[in-house]
Amino acid sequence: MAKTYTGSLQLEWYNKQRAILIAKESEILSAESTPAPKMNWVNKDEALFYEIIDDEGRGLSPYWVNRNDIRVKEARPLLLQNVFRAIEKNKEGTIPGTQTFFELEQSKKEKEPVDNFFIKGDNLLALNAIKKIIDTLSDFPKFKCVYYDVPYNTDQAFKHYDDSLEHSEWLTMMRDRLAITYEMIREDGCIIVQVDDIEHHYLKVLLDEIFGRKNFVNQICYERSGAAGIGQGGVFLNTAEYILIYCKDAQQFTYNELLQNEPLEYETMKRYNKVLTNYGSKELVEEFNSKSNNLPVKIYKHSEYNIASISLRDFENRKKEIYADFYKNFSSIFRTTNPQAENEFQNDLISRMDGGLFSVEYTPSRGKYKDKLTTIYYNNKEIFAWLKDSAFIDGNSIVKSNKMSTIWLHGDIPKADLANEGGVELKRSKKPEQLMKRLFEFATDEGDYILDIFGGSGTSFAVAHKLKRKWVGAEVGKHSDTHILERMKGVIDGSDQTGISKAVNWRGGGSFKYYHIGPSIIKINKEGTGDFNWSLGKKFLEESFLLSYDYTIDNSIDFSADKLFSDKENQPLVGVQKLGSKNRVAIVTLNEPSGKLVNITYDELQLLCKTVRKKYAPEYINIFTNRGIEIAYDSKPDDLEVIKVPYAIFAELEK
């Protein structure tokens, strides 16, 4: 029976139904016990399943299923289509090593060592497959950065529905993908999501719910185009998109500061109107150990010091003289500023000072000078900010590097040749390589892994590759082949000289693997009955089954004791699921249609349960099997559940 959809999108928060008057301090709950704001939408507790028309990459006929439904949870196989590798060769007639070029080679050897790979197929299934790789291969790291240029409204992904249902489809689609993504990000990593104003505010609350509001880093307003030449519809000209950045853990998040370079101008020079010419003698007035790393902190007071001013009087007529003075004294020019109020360490230092000049020697535990002995100066309790720390000399000029703001203007990011970048065209949603360069240089270093499952035209993959990052990506539809595949072949053989290529001196190199999402682990036979897809192999089915239901595989358990499971190939597979402080254990043992495994005997069952209880002390033990079990129902332990598969899967799908 078809469901009837009622209601609309809602925002829920703590004490929504109450007004704020006066509250006693004792009545205010701590931040830890107060629920964060959450959105409610149609069928929020369910997942969205839809069929894909491969040529178009469009999801049609979506319908709601249980969030544990195998169709949206399963870890499908990845079918290798090609391995693309750039081989460096010498130009004919030149001295070896002096003039080289890259030639593209293809193979189908799965075991070739390749870091980058691209998956064609539904991105939720691709995420499940990538998560399986992370969960089962100890040498495959998590992602330092995830970048998603998400569908801006559901009309791009689904047929159009009424507004409340349309929002629900979009939010469900994003929630399910973001929830899996969260588990795949490094503790010091982040996610960057780009969106327009249609779903921007809903996405912000959704990210708050999944990543935690405390892990919100910043929002960037990106001017995607200038006002000239665009349509005149609407109250205002819409030229903005929004880039939301969330980290996995604010305490561990690492990044590279983004700076904008500008010539040193009069308004800036006014702030640097002093030159320190002599520190004078110093006296140690206090020494203690830092709370953060237990290393010494020494506070010195200086005497007979001399601070001189640089006069900017009659600036226009004396400009050459003034710039020469700044140039000559570049290493000793500073300004003073109040330390950030939230910096407890700085506030503690200042509380130990009186008027005059002080210096502090210490070893920072975080930030730019981490683990290096550092000296900072204070004058009348204000900290010194050195010009040399935020500027550099370029020829005969001084260039100031300012921290980048959250407003990124159209003219600030080159996009004049955007349509031709990568040799592919994608109307409306194509992003400039310079934008990706800025984001990836902020969030990652060379060698870090970047993930993007909304591949589009392949800009993120191309930029990651040119910046010597490693990348994993997915996209659905025919432009996986016509756009992304062709673009990346041009990147590695060096023929793509568009975008950031010249800025980073890109000549080519590297490799990547190209996969298709494989078939489901379940199949419907011609007669309409369901079974496992045995063509995938017993081991793959058992692993994928456990991973699809959020169990972490434990290959360390050896059931060969007492020779009951001496056949290594047919030993049961164990998965563990953490439920707070408790464990749930799953044991899967399958017999192929042509297999020779018989019923699980009572002794085998006892050994299985004894072994996992000893290691995990689980609250529940679930045995998934298509084999018979020799045990009377009334003698089954209370913590043991035997689930017949694949019967149980199809019984659930038919609900």
CATH architecture of 529-653: 3-Layer(aba) Sandwich (3.40)
pLDDT at residue 17 tops 70: no
- Side-chain half-sphere of 200: how many Cα atoms within 13 Å? 15
Asked if residue 483 lies in contact with residue 426, where contact means CB atoms within 8 angstroms, the answer is yes
* Residue keyed to tokens 């609309």: 8
Mean pLDDT for 562-590 is 86
Residues in the chain: 655
Q: Where are the domains of the chain?
A: 46-258+439-517, 266-389, 529-653
Q: Around Cβ 611, how many Cβ atoms within 10 Å?
A: 19
pLDDT, position 149: 93
Mean of the per-residue pLDDT values for the chain? 85
Look at residue 2 in the predicted model and tell me its pLDDT.
Answer: 40
Q: What is the mean pLDDT of residues 360-380?
A: 86
Mean pLDDT of all residues in 37-52: 82
pLDDT at 366 > cutoff 90: no
Could you tell me the pLDDT band of residue 174, with boundaries at 50, 70 and 90? very high
pLDDT per residue as tens digits for the range 417-458: 788 888 887 766 789 999 999 999 999 999 999 999 999 899
* H helices present in 303-362, as ranges: 315-328, 344-351
Share above pLDDT 90 across residues of the chain, in percent, rounded to a whole number: 45
**Residue 259 and residue 256: Cα distance in Å, rounded?**
9
For residue 88, pLDDT beyond 50:
yes
Mean pLDDT check: name the lowest of 66-80, 225-239, 548-562, 640-654.
Answer: 225-239
Q: Give the integer Cα–Cα distance in Å for 141 and 144.
A: 9
Instruction: Determine which of 53-67, 105-119, 133-147, 335-349 has the lowest per-residue pLDDT on average.
Output: 53-67
Query: What's the Cα-to-Cα distance from 566 to each of 88, 539, 558, 571, 585, rounded to whole Å?
Result: 50, 17, 10, 8, 22
Q: Is 487 helix (H, G, I), strand (E, B) or coil?
A: helix
- pLDDT(272) > 80: yes
Q: What mean pLDDT do residues 51-62 have?
A: 63
Cα(612)–Cα(606) distance, rounded to whole angstroms?
10
Specify the residue for token string 């079974």: 531
Dist CA 190 CA 439 (whole Å): 11
Q: Are 521 and 73 in contact (CB under 8 A)?
A: no
At 194-228, the pLDDT tens digits run: 999 888 999 999 999 999 999 999 999 999 876 65
Tell which wins on pLDDT, 267 or 529.
Answer: 267
* Confidence bin at 342 (pLDDT 50/70/90): low
3-state secondary structure 133-195: HHHHCCCCCCEEEEEEECCCCHHHCCCCCCHHHHHHHHHHHHHHHHHHHHHCEEEEEEEEEEE
**pLDDT recorded at residue 492:** 97
| Cβ neighbourhood burial of 210 (10 Å; 0-12, 13-18, 19+) | middle
Residue 33 pLDDT > 60: no
**pLDDT for position 238:** 83
Q: Is the pTM of this model over 0.95?
A: no
Most confident of 308-317, 359-368, 633-642: 308-317
In this model, does residue 5 exceed pLDDT 60?
A: no
| Contact yes or no for 213/265 (Cβ under 8 A) | no
Please report which confidence band the pLDDT of residue 28 belongs to, taking 50, 70 and 90 as the band edges. very low
Beta strands 117-120 and 216-223, pairing class: unpaired
Give residue 153's pLDDT: 62
Structure tokens belonging to residue 454? 């909304």
φ/ψ of 285, rounded to 5, equals -105, -20
**What's the pLDDT at 476?**
85
Inform me whether the pLDDT recorded for 162 exceeds 60. no
Rounded to 5 degrees, φ, ψ at 118 are -125, 135
Mean pLDDT score, 466-472: 97
**Helix, strand, coil percentages in the chain from 3-state DSSP, rounded to 5:** 30, 30, 40
The fourth-level CATH superfamily of domain 46-258+439-517 is Vaccinia Virus protein VP39 (3.40.50.150)
> Which of 566, 547, 531 lies closest to 644, judged by CA?
531
Tell me the average pLDDT across 617-623. Answer: 93
In percent, how much of the chain has pLDDT > 70?
Answer: 87
* Closest to 331 in 3D by CA, of 417, 416, 389: 389
227 Cα distance to chain centroid: 32
pLDDT for res 138: 74
Task: Say if residue 552's pLDDT is above 60.
Answer: yes
Which one has a higher pLDDT value, 273 or 116? 116
Residue 463: enclosing H or E segment and its boundaries?
helix 459-466
Least confident of 179-183, 491-495, 568-572, 610-614: 568-572
> DSSP per residue over 595-612, as a string?
----PBPHHHHHHHHHHH
CA 276 to chain CA centroid, Å, is 45
